Structure 1
Amino acid sequence: MYLTAVGVDSAPIEAPAANALLFQRCHWCGTAMFHRLLCPVCAGSDLRTEASTGAGVVRHSTVVHRNTPAARNVSLIEMSEGFTVQGRVMGPPAGILRGDRVQLATAQDAVRRQPVFQIVDGPYRAWS
């Protein structure tokens, strides 16, 4: 869901929904990044904010038993826009595998302040 506002040049500007995962894209080189002040490629500071589609692939997942009553997973998700974000994937922590396709469920978990994803289907094995 997007809200539409009118900009200075009277062209519509789309504002992301409250549950959208926001990332930055460098105006100069087009690199996508998550929560950065400068572009890691060209060191540019002209970054525009965009909303992600929420689709991604698990690149790494680990099970954490510390500071929690039950085991939880921490995963690195490579988003379809090209940036990587750390988040949690719903499901049994040991059942989350590298290559699982995921979709954003919640942009920010109330406790850990990280995005939460759900598995869409099994591992993507295009390289085999």
Structure 2
Amino acid sequence: MYHPSISVFQQGAGLSAGTLDLPPAREEAILFQRCDWCGTAMYHRLLCPVCQGSELRTERSAGTGTVRHTTVVHRNTPAARNVSLVELAEGFVVRGRVMGPLIGIHSGDRVRLSTAKDPVRGEPVFQLVDEPYRAWT
């Protein structure tokens, strides 16, 4: 099924969890699943990790979250890049990249979705919501 307002990334995520009956919204979004039995939010799963339920509905994330862990990777890339675990407001964690200076990204920073799918790595790309004030002592 082709829908012009849904990107390829969104179609693929919707097909794995059943029919995609979401209201039209902005083009860039992360789709996740929520268990109908216990309400647990998860990212790209076939079964609920809490109750093992298979009745998962697809929802669209608001795209805001908090960096839980970040690291700098120097392997298999021409330049250093960061890899971060971001906990989104809906309660699930996704691996992605945060734009900005590598030394300026820390756990606890608030981020928002910039691009749902990086063209090279296929991971979500986030940007810092506000530049935190850090005193260097």
**TM-score normalised by structure 1 residue count:** 0.83
TM-aligned CA deviation for residue 82 of structure 1: 0.2
Give ranges in structure 2 of 5+ residues lacking alignment. 6-20, 133-137
* Amino acid in structure 2 at the alignment position of 1:29: C
Q: Is contact 2:22–2:59 with CA below 8 Å preserved after alignment?
A: no
Whose helix proportion is higher, 1 or 2?
2
TM-aligned CA deviation for residue 94 of structure 1: 2.0
- Report the identity percentage: 68
1:80 aligns with 2:73: no
Q: Is contact 2:86–2:94 with CA below 8 Å preserved after alignment?
A: yes
Whose strand proportion is higher, 1 or 2?
1
User: Residue in 1 aligned with 2:29?
Assistant: 20
TM-aligned CA deviation for residue 93 of structure 1: 1.5
Give the secondary-structure state (helix, strand or coil) at the position aligned to 2:130.
strand
TM-aligned CA deviation for residue 73 of structure 1: 0.1
User: Residue in 2 aligned with 1:55?
Assistant: 64
Distance (Å, rounded) in 2 between the aligned partners of 1:16 and 1:51: 9
Moved over 2 A (4+): 15-18
Distance (Å, rounded) in 2 between the aligned partners of 1:92 and 1:65: 15
**TM-score normalised by structure 2 residue count:** 0.78
Distance (Å, rounded) in 1 between the aligned partners of 2:64 and 2:112: 5
User: Residue in 2 aligned with 1:126?
Assistant: none
User: Residue in 1 aligned with 2:135?
Assistant: none
Task: Note the aligned Cα RMSD (angstroms).
Answer: 1.6
1:38 aligns with 2:47: yes
Q: Deviations over 1:30-76 (max 9, x none)?
A: 00000000000000000000000000000000000001111000000
Distance 1:112 1:13, change over 3 A: closer
Q: Is contact 1:99–1:122 with CA below 8 Å preserved after alignment?
A: no
Q: Deviations over 1:88-118 (max 9, x none)?
A: 0001112100000000000000000000000
Give ranges in structure 1 of 5+ residues lacking alignment. 4-11, 124-128
Question: 1:113-124 counterparts in 2 under 5 A?
Answer: 113-122=122-131
